[in-house]
Amino acid sequence: MSEGEVFHEKQRLELCAIHALNNVLQERVFTKETADDICKRLAPQCVVNPHRSVLGTGNYDVNVIMAALQSRELAAVWWDKRRTVQSLVMSKVQGFILNVPSRVSLGIVSLPLRRRHWLAVRQVNGQYYNLDSKLKSPVCIGGEAELGYGTRTCVTWVLHHLFVCL
């Protein structure tokens, strides 16, 4: 990746948690194999692991994300959506990982189902980007002022869960 370029992994299977982690870190650090290893460590005695899809396609839970970040000496802190993002000390924030409702589709057919989807928001070269793996490319949100407005709006309208990576 060259300087100024924004790293952006695209969606594959149900690996949005891995994509969100790599996108917030701005490099390919985690794979399906490393996430599966984390799942095994989190629930070593379980035949059916509660931290991922029984089909083996991903769909990792927040415990996997938190353990993955801890392995990089980072922490995911749940953000109380009643607080404003402006109260954060942004210089200490690596990025944001959000868990949002997402439509389910089979090819071009959209099903009347909703699942949860992980996505990342990260600052690169002074601008914040929506690094959702379902997007064709990163979407520039803008600076801190735009980030605060956009994230607060999303929290109100979408009712998602926001985790701050420190």
Give the active site residues.
16, 117, 132
Burial class (CB in 10 A: 0-12, 13-18, 19+), 37: middle
At 118, list the tokens.
């992980």
Residue 28 CA to residue 19 CA, distance in Å, equals 8
- Helix-helix angle 16-25:32-42, to 10 degrees: 110
Residue 95 CA to residue 8 CA, distance in Å, equals 14
Residue 68 CA to residue 70 CA, distance in Å, equals 5
